[in-house]
Chains A and B, each alone.
Chain A
């Protein structure tokens, strides 16, 4: 069983919104130290899978195992305590807290022990946040909020980092920085990353492996290079003008 050594393994998960099935029989895994990406059209269920890992909504069938622990029915805050951090869809920063306080919330698991060290790392990655350190989160521009959401997730010193469209609303240069930073973190600290992206090219280039999701079903998986070369993937997600 190769999945025994996987850090995160999602087995045959089905998730519903009311009566509508959003995920059907999804089986995905991420090995330690890997960057895995999930690509697919809008509404395919990528973000739902991200949220299902956190138990919001809960998987109705199937199992989600993180580092040998079954987290399928674990309360969300306890899942977060296992050091799974997420930069969620829609950013969900704390709008009335300052940038600094938002980052502190991210670091609260360690009682701010590593706050200075980690915040320096975040500010290196996003110098813009340092300029805005005492500004309220809600007054930041959309792209800056996105940076803050990613920064907050990094502050938790995660073992598994879930990124839901980190490039959304960001300038091309910043996207490049973020992708480089993820790669670097992954190389230096062995951080496992699970990445959902519309920018399929960038995501596949960054990741080791990838999955393709169509309407709540994983239809394809393989190494990034294979997927990049795959004509179906190219036709559906890569072409059309983005370069």
Chain B
């Protein structure tokens, strides 16, 4: 996918002379910008600048007063979005969106939400209900596949355990993730996210960054997002467009936009020296023993949760642990971004440079005293955990692990567990014997799933592919 992205740098979406008037009110005035294929484009600006209106025009909820919105799909088909009805845009032009104030189907289960998103392919396979009603096997097969696809996304967003709970019962952060997964279930080529990090705390928005980068890497989906959280915008976007009063005031890489005096005046404001000072002071005071703190907090939290929320999900429970785990992963993800986009923007230290020790972008798990598991940080992995399989490695060959989540059935959680146990490459899984499978199932807490989902077979093909070309294409999520 990466190579394709680099080859195909054409715009997926071209917005030309877009204007939108409500009565006398001009919400958007003569707006022009492009979103590149495979890139993350951010749309920022003060409140009421017309960002959501742009989204509503792109997704067909508003008909623009003037202008042209051209979407070019991977296969070269061009769509003029301003002429299409909203549901046709999703169906044919493959544009999906989320909403500022989350719009989940709160009375349907998490799983059902993801199934509704696959309405159109399922409708076809059920022969517009007629064949499905009569019990034809084509529909049964399609329904099972739809559930598998939903499971894949649930694993991505860490909500498998809550699949059968009503969506309205999820905590806010999980609802945000679910809405993104639901949009991805429509199989989009352009994903429009309206303030995905609103209401998330620092840790959750770091997780969101990782999710978005994963989506882009795995499915090649281009992302257009509106966001006020600068940590999200600056870290993951390749391109930023700034609106004020419906017109574009700046357009460029995050770094140029951030230093644009017009943007600072209209939107960002001046840097608050006091805050920086406070952070630094606090860091000096309390950075010594993060590990102890983490252990304390997580065990305490766990205890309370077992008492009060028997079905609460682990992501919410162990904030500190997850934080430690996501940080290096994020660093790795950032590295990938930089590899892809290094050429156009060498002067972007935060987004491009793989510097996990930068005090503001990542916590400090690499403190030498740390005893907590730090799986994805291979250079520091002191030893492999007990119960590992025979062909475990101390660290990935060449310092870079394969993306094990490409194997159907392995989600991010299992990938982490496997890494902890010294499994980094497809060929390692491909070489597993019976005893190894039993050992692996013991620590993954699976029964027979490895055989059922044919991890070894999958790993073999993937290992072959990865030898053929360095970055294997992900097929599972893009269908």
Residues on A lying within 8 angstroms of B by beta carbon are 20-21, 24, 39, 41-43, 90, 128, 132, 135, 139-144, 146-147, 165, 168-174, 176, 198-201, 205, 214-217, 219, 228-232, 234-243
Q: CA separation between A173 and B287, bound complex, in Å?
A: 30
| Nearest CB in chain A: distance from B98 CB, A | 13
Is the C-beta of B204 less than 8 angstroms from some C-beta in chain A? Answer: yes
* Chain B contact residues, majority secondary structure: helix
Interface residue count for B (Cβ, 8 Å)? 77
| Nearest CB in chain A: distance from B31 CB, A | 16
- Whether the Cβ atoms of A176 and B199 lie closer than 8 Å is no
- Whether the Cβ atoms of B201 and A237 lie closer than 8 Å is yes
Mask for B347-386, Cβ within 8 A of A = 1, else 0?
A: 0000000000000111100000000000000000000000
- Whether the Cβ atoms of B172 and A43 lie closer than 8 Å is yes
Q: Which of A146, A199, A231 contacts B293 (CB 8 A)?
A: A231
Is the C-beta of B228 less than 8 angstroms from some C-beta in chain A? Answer: yes
Q: A143-B47, A174-B47, A231-B287 are in contact. Are A241 and B202 (CB under 8 A)?
A: yes
Q: A147-B47, A228-B278 are in contact. Are A171 and B200 (CB under 8 A)?
A: no
Q: A42-B204, A173-B267 are in contact. Are A144 and B304 (CB under 8 A)?
A: no
Q: A140-B48, A234-B282, A235-B294 are in contact. Are A41 and B363 (CB under 8 A)?
A: no
- Whether the Cβ atoms of B308 and A216 lie closer than 8 Å is yes
Q: A215-B309, A243-B275 are in contact. Are A142 and B202 (CB under 8 A)?
A: no
User: Using Cβ atoms and an 8 Å threshold, which residues of chain B touch A169?
Assistant: 47, 100, 195, 198, 228
User: Using Cβ atoms and an 8 Å threshold, which residues of chain B touch A236?
Assistant: 203, 297, 319-320, 323
Q: A41-B319, A142-B47 are in contact. Are A239 and B301 (CB under 8 A)?
A: no
8 Å CB interface, B122-167 against A: none
- Whether the Cβ atoms of A240 and B205 lie closer than 8 Å is yes
Known: A171-B228, A198-B200, A241-B235. 10 other contacts (CB 8 A): A42-B174, A141-B53, A170-B228, A219-B300, A232-B293, A235-B293, A235-B363, A237-B203, A240-B206, A243-B275
Q: CA separation between A172 and B50, bound complex, in Å?
A: 16
Q: A215-B312, A241-B361 are in contact. Are A229 and B286 (CB under 8 A)?
A: yes
- Whether the Cβ atoms of B100 and A142 lie closer than 8 Å is yes
Q: CA separation between A238 and B281, bound complex, in Å?
A: 14
Taking CB as reference atom, which chain A residue is nearest B46? A171
Mask for B289-315, Cβ within 8 A of A = 1, else 0?
A: 110111011001100110011001000
Q: A169-B195, A169-B198, A198-B200 are in contact. Are A241 and B360 (CB under 8 A)?
A: yes
- Whether the Cβ atoms of A128 and B297 lie closer than 8 Å is no
- Whether the Cβ atoms of B360 and A173 lie closer than 8 Å is no
Q: A139-B22, A142-B47, A172-B268 are in contact. Are A232 and B203 (CB under 8 A)?
A: no
Pick the most buried of B272, B288, B326: most chain A CB atoms within 10 A of its CB: B272
User: Using Cβ atoms and an 8 Å threshold, which residues of chain A touch B301?
Assistant: 214-215, 219
User: Using Cβ atoms and an 8 Å threshold, which residues of chain B touch A39?
Assistant: 201
Q: CA separation between A238 and B286, bound complex, in Å?
A: 12
- Whether the Cβ atoms of B198 and A41 lie closer than 8 Å is no
Q: CA separation between A174 and B267, bound complex, in Å?
A: 8
- Whether the Cβ atoms of B200 and A235 lie closer than 8 Å is no
User: Using Cβ atoms and an 8 Å threshold, which residues of chain A touch B201?
Assistant: 39, 41-42, 198-200, 237, 240, 242
- Whether the Cβ atoms of A217 and B267 lie closer than 8 Å is no
Q: A143-B48, A173-B266 are in contact. Are A237 and B278 (CB under 8 A)?
A: no
- Whether the Cβ atoms of B202 and A171 lie closer than 8 Å is no
8 Å CB interface, B35-58 against A: 44-53
Q: Which of A21, A230, A238 contacts B202 (CB 8 A)?
A: A238
User: Using Cβ atoms and an 8 Å threshold, which residues of chain A touch B232?
Assistant: 241
Q: CA separation between A200 and B281, bound complex, in Å?
A: 16
Q: CA separation between A109 and B53, bound complex, in Å?
A: 36
28 A–B contacts from the bound complex (CB under 8 Å): A20-B309, A21-B308, A41-B316, A42-B171, A42-B199, A43-B170, A43-B173, A141-B53, A168-B198, A171-B47, A174-B46, A201-B202, A214-B297, A214-B300, A217-B308, A229-B285, A229-B286, A230-B286, A234-B286, A235-B319, A235-B320, A237-B201, A237-B203, A240-B201, A240-B206, A240-B363, A241-B205, A242-B202
Q: CA separation between A242 and B281, bound complex, in Å?
A: 17
| Nearest CB in chain A: distance from B170 CB, A | 8
Q: A231-B286, A239-B203 are in contact. Are A215 and B308 (CB under 8 A)?
A: yes
